[in-house]
Amino acid sequence: MTQAVVFISYSRKDEVEKDKLVSHLGVLQGAGLVDIWHDDRIGAGQDWQVEINLAIAQAKIAILLITANFLNSRFILGAEAPELLRRRQSEGLVVFPIIARACAWRAVDWLRDMNVRPKNSVPVWSDGGIHVDEYLSGIAEEISVVVQKRADHVTRTTTVGLSNRFNDTPCADPKPSKSWRILVVDDEPTWQRRLSRILREINCTVVTAGNYEQGENLLTDFDFDLVTIDLNLDKSTQYADGLELVLRIREVFGNYMPVIIITGTGSLEEQRRSFKEYNVFDFIQKAKLDLEEFQKIVIEAIGSSRNLIRPQF
């Protein structure tokens, strides 16, 4: 089962409360149900705002740790909360506002109208914090139920969708008899790790490359079922290296090798060109990457080409 990303929005001044919440949610993470994300996961040297935006885009559940500090944070109220609420409205993101400490949360229009936790609206850390574990464990159990229901729905939807997709191709069983081999070409180690983790969840063996030369050499040495390529592999020559590698693949493999572009850049014109001139299977903006949708795209791409005989380097 794909782990649901749980995004925790909180004020840095509330580290103690956040850590206590994470400890209760850790039970779900240990069981493989969720992947908990908070800004402590941002590594040294990474663009923190980009990483937060990526995490929000991938989240299936968001937890708002409401305190006076939270409600006084310009970044939270100006950036994080509006995007989470937008996704809640348009994409069905599940949002859990948790009243951690007493504050004037009812004075906030969008928050006043939401179903907060605890359900009695009593702050988690009220009464000297004697009920903290009781409240947080209850919230963790509620999130567990949401995740399980979501997983059941995704399983049913994916099974039906794949059955319909491959109905006309008798040999195109979406479950591989052996692990699919995927080449991920991206110059950002963070994205190499992220894509590798997502692909391994659907039984893929992942090999990574950080530039054009490494990607080409690996294509020479190994037989891959699919390649994902970042457009901007060389910051000094925007787009060039990524599309040049796609062109090299087309020269050698023709259209037999499925290619998915996953990029943090790329204009609409580049997207059209990728489909028209390079016959890429899909073009995905990193900020909009959905884990489950990406997995289904990979399965579909490999299924569409697995019965074809491909030339080798």
Domains (ranges, CATH) in the chain? 4-154 (3.40.50.10140), 170-305 (3.40.50.2300)
* Confidence band of 312 (pLDDT split at 50, 70, 90): very low
Report the alpha-carbon distance of residue 247 to residue 253 in Å, rounded.
10
The answer to whether 287 and 264 are in contact (CB under 8 A) is yes
Confidence of residue 176 (pLDDT cuts 50, 70, 90): very low
**pLDDT at residue 82, rounded to an integer:** 94
Task: Tell how strand 226-229 and strand 259-263 pair up.
Answer: parallel
To the nearest 10°, report the CA torsion of 228, 230, 231, 234: -130
Q: How far apart are the C-alpha atoms of 247 and 55, rounded to whole Å?
A: 32
Q: Would you say the C-alpha torsion 122, 127, 75, 150 has a positive or negative sign?
A: negative
CB atoms within 10 A of CB 152: 11
In this prediction, residue 222 has a pLDDT band, given cuts at 50, 70 and 90, of confident
59-73, 97-111, 143-157, 214-228: lowest mean pLDDT where? 143-157
Distance CA 113, CA 116 (A): 9
- Asked whether residue 253 carries a pLDDT value surpassing 90, the answer given is no
pLDDT of residue 274: 77
pLDDT at residue 178 in the model: 55
Query: 202 vs 1, 164, 179, 292, 297, CA distance in Å?
Result: 9, 19, 9, 10, 12
List 4's β-bridge partners, or say none.
34
Return the pLDDT at 172: 40
Per-residue confidence (pLDDT) for residue 200, from 0 to 100: 87
Which of 93-97, 109-113, 180-184, 267-271 is the least confident region? 267-271
139/115 Cα distance (integer angstroms): 13
Nearest to 20 by CA among 89, 67, 84, 53: 67
Please report the pLDDT score of residue 311 as a whole number.
Answer: 45
Q: What average pLDDT does the chain have?
A: 83
Residues of the chain above pLDDT 70, percent: 83
Is residue 77 within 8 Å of residue 107, measured between CB atoms? no
Q: Kindly state the average pLDDT of the residues 143-158.
A: 66
3-state secondary structure of 94: strand
CB count within 10 Å of CB 210 equals 16
Instruction: Give the per-residue pLDDT at 177.
Output: 47
- Report H helices in the chain: 15-30, 48-58, 68-71, 74-75, 81-91, 109-112, 132-165, 189-200, 212-221, 240-253, 268-278, 291-305
Token pair 């259209």 in the structure block, residue? 255
The helix/strand/coil state of 117 is: strand
